[in-house]
Amino acid sequence: MPLTLQDAIDQLADRASAKRRSAAKRLRVLGDPAAGPALLDALRTEIGDPRTWETQYQLIMALGSCGHAPAVELLEQLAAQQDDYTMVGVALGDALVRIEWTTDSSLTTIDRYMSTGSPSVIDGTFRAIAMLRLVPDDELLGRIIAFVTRLDLVDPLRFWVAAAAAGWTGPNVEVFLRGCLTSPRNDVVEAATDSLAGTYKKYRPL
């Protein structure tokens, strides 16, 4: 039987990382704002141990799913520390976009990290807009397309933008997607093909 909300919150304090990770994944699925404070406390405890990055990833994703705004300060601090491409960085970008969107339906986070973020955090922001099927305003959309169009055809940052573009319109969007069709990466080609047909594909990230 799946963990209840309270059982999952209690399990965040388990001695075993696998148990804590399982609890975080359950709270991510539930997306209940009531879990936010416990998740934030758990993340503060967890971040000191790089060996538990998978648990940290799930805690961060759960905070995003819960839309827990008090977590933003810590998440931004962690995002600023990202250098190499890491899944924790992806989760940070994803969660920051989700929290901002839940709080005030804005997407300023994407603009900020396109300018200053590490590749993994940027990738996470793009993944969030794809998974949430968001349509940015024309100005932001133009900046996103300009950003990814400058990237090499094998750059993985193209993927989530290509996937998100199923609900986007405009000549620059089509030019970007048709350019993606020439990428050596099969995932980018498939995402662009679906988006040119206006079809959102269901993705199940970690």
**pLDDT of res. 52:** 95
Angle subtended at Cα 122 by Cα 132 and Cα 53, rounded to the nearest 5 degrees: 90
pLDDT tens digits along 186-201: 999 999 999 999 999 8
How many alpha carbons lie under 13 Å from residue 77 in its C-beta half-sphere?
8
pLDDT band per the 50, 70, 90 thresholds, residue 9: very high
**pLDDT of res. 159:** 97
Q: How far apart are CA 10 and CA 65, in angstroms?
A: 18
**pLDDT of res. 109:** 93
**pLDDT of res. 205:** 82
State percent of the chain over pLDDT 90: 90
Average pLDDT of the segment spanning 100-114: 93
Q: By the 8 A CB rule, do 174 and 196 touch?
A: yes
Query: Nearest to residue 100, comparing CAs of 89, 90, 112, 88?
Result: 112
Q: How far apart are CA 21 and CA 42, in angstroms?
A: 10
**pLDDT of res. 140:** 95
Q: Tell me what the pLDDT averaged over the chain comes to.
A: 95
Query: In the structure encoding, which two tokens stand for residue 78, read together?
Result: 């962690």
This prediction's pTM: 0.94
Q: Which residues of 81-102 are buried (b: 16+ CB within 10 A; e: fewer)?
A: ebeeebbbbbbbbbbbbbbbbb
User: 39 pLDDT exceeds 90?
Assistant: yes
Q: How far apart are CA 142 and CA 161, in angstroms?
A: 12
User: 105 pLDDT exceeds 90?
Assistant: no
**pLDDT of res. 116:** 86
Spell out the domains of the chain, with CATH numbers in brackets: 1-134 (1.25.10.10), 136-201 (no CATH)
pLDDT tens digits along 155-176: 999 999 999 999 999 999 999 9
